[in-house]
Amino acid sequence: MVMQSTAAGLPQNSGGKGAKRSFSVAFEPWLYLSPGLVLLLLVLVVPLIFGVSYSFRKFSAFKSEYVGLAQYQALLHDQVLGQALMNTLWWTVASLVLQFFLGLGLALLLDRDFAGKKFVQAIVFLPWAVPSFLSGLTWAWLFNPIVGPLPHWLFALGLKAEPTNILSDPATAMWGPIIANVWFGVPFFAITLLAALKSIPGELHEAAAIDGANPWQRFTKVTLPFLAPTIAITVMLRTIWIATFADLIYVMTEGGPAGSTNTVATYIYVSAFKTLDKGYASAVAVLLLALLILYAIVLIRIRRSLVRYS
């Protein structure tokens, strides 16, 4: 209404008065938006600016000083960080791939009717409701040969020479948090992909069946193209969450043994709260942020070129 009346009035004004008028027209919407913008600025941007500004300072027990890019120079020579980056990559990729394919499988299974479906559905979505600290502790106990059954089962199956704790062996320790994370994250993919599957019109599958597509072709030519947008967005979100997710690892291994499960996220946590160098932790966090933004940009590009129709 406002736009209409001002637009209608505009032609009658001339010269400087008109320019003034058009400024107020341009300004008006921003005025209405300002409470929301101020809130966004306060909640999102200000903390980010503070966080980034910390990375240019050095903190010690009672004071902090400006050190310019010194923290970033230190990053370059940090061997622990190098290993943490590799660990993060491994932790993220392995968790993501397993979560995704198990989630997709469960979603496909839950998309069809079978006896006891409601029950299975409830079970599948359960891990989502368990606090991450609790699931971390539970899995740590499960892997512990004194209280948990898993080492004994692995031993009985011949997968391990002795029923020891995989969490205490640097070669296998990362698998512990990964398995816990997969258990924890599968419901996310199952729920979102199931919702996307439900949105595919049934007649499309019927048309494909009549056109001569076998079940595998129906999956690849009809189902997957439909899921593609959802897959792209969930994989992106999930990658970012997993890469920055420190709870499980911290609870189960605290980044050890010998730094073998130390990811960038746990390293930030350790630097900030154990060594109390918030400046260095911030610099590492900025690095992780930059890497994730880069990843998101690449994925969005890929998504655009793949998904022409949505």
Partner 1 sequence: MASVTISNVQKNYGAMNVLSAVDLSIADGEFVVLVGPSGCGKSTLLRMIAGLEEISAGEIKIGDRVVNDVAPKDRDIAMVFQSYALYPHMDVASNMGFSLMLRKTAKELVLNRVGSAAKRLGLDVYLQRLPRQLSGGQRQRVAMGRAIVRDPKVFLFDEPLSNLDAKLRVHMRTEIKALHQQLKTTSVYVTHDQVEAMTMADRIVVMHDGVIQQVGTPLELYDHPANLFVAGFIGSPGMNFLPAVVARQGNKVSAELTDGQMIPLRPELKVEDGDRVTVGIRPENIEVGTSAALKAKIEVIEPLGLSTQFYTRLAGQQVCIFAMGRTDRGPGDTIALGIKPADVHVFHGKTGLRLS
The residue ranges that bind partner 1 (CB under 8 A) are 201, 203-204, 206-214, 217, 221-222, 225-226, 307-309
CA-based radius of gyration for the chain:
26
Q: Are 268 and 75 in contact (CB under 8 A)?
A: no
Residue count (the chain): 310
**C-alpha to C-alpha distances, 240 to 82, 131, 165, 265, nearest whole angstrom:** 19, 19, 29, 11
Q: Which is nearer to partner 1, 22 or 217 (CB)?
A: 217
Output 47 or 215, the one with its CB closest to partner 1: 215
Instruction: Kindly tell me which of 31 and 210 has the beta carbon lying closer to partner 1.
Output: 210
Minimum CB distance to partner 1, residue 303 (Å): 13
Q: Which residues of 84-117 are buried (b: 16+ CB within 10 A; e: fewer)?
A: bbebbeebbebbbebbbebbbebbeebeeeeeee
Q: Which is nearer to partner 1, 42 or 224 (CB)?
A: 224
- Between 46-54 and 278-306, two packed helices, what is the crossing angle to 10 degrees? 120
Tokens 């299974």 belong to residue: 109
What sections of the chain are H helices per DSSP?
2-9, 15-40, 46-54, 70-76, 79-110, 117-125, 132-143, 150-156, 175-198, 202-211, 215-218, 224-243, 247-252, 264-273, 278-306
Strand-pair partners of 58: 65
Sole residue written with tokens 């839950």: 110
- The least distance separating partner 1 from the CB of residue 309, rounded to whole angstroms, comes to 5
Count CB atoms within 10 A of the CB of residue 292.
Answer: 16
Q: Which is nearer to partner 1, 11 or 212 (CB)?
A: 212
Shortest spacing between CB 167 and partner 1, in angstroms:
45
Least separation in angstroms between CB 217 and partner 1: 6
Smaller CB distance to partner 1: residue 28 or 211? 211
Q: Please identify, using beta-carbon distances, which residue of 141 and 226 lies nearer to partner 1.
A: 226
Smallest separation (angstroms) from partner 1 to the CB of 193: 17
Query: What torsion do the CA atoms of 212, 214, 217, 222 make, to the nearest 10 degrees?
Result: 70
DSSP state of 290: H
Closest among 163, 142, 297 to 232, alpha carbons compared: 297
CB of 206 to partner 1, least distance (A): 5
Please report the DSSP string for 7-31 in residue order.
HHHGGG--HHHHHHHHHHHHHHHHH
The distance of closest approach from Cβ of residue 200 to partner 1 in the complex, given in angstroms and rounded to an integer, is 10
Q: Cβ of residue 218: shortest distance to partner 1, in angstroms?
A: 10
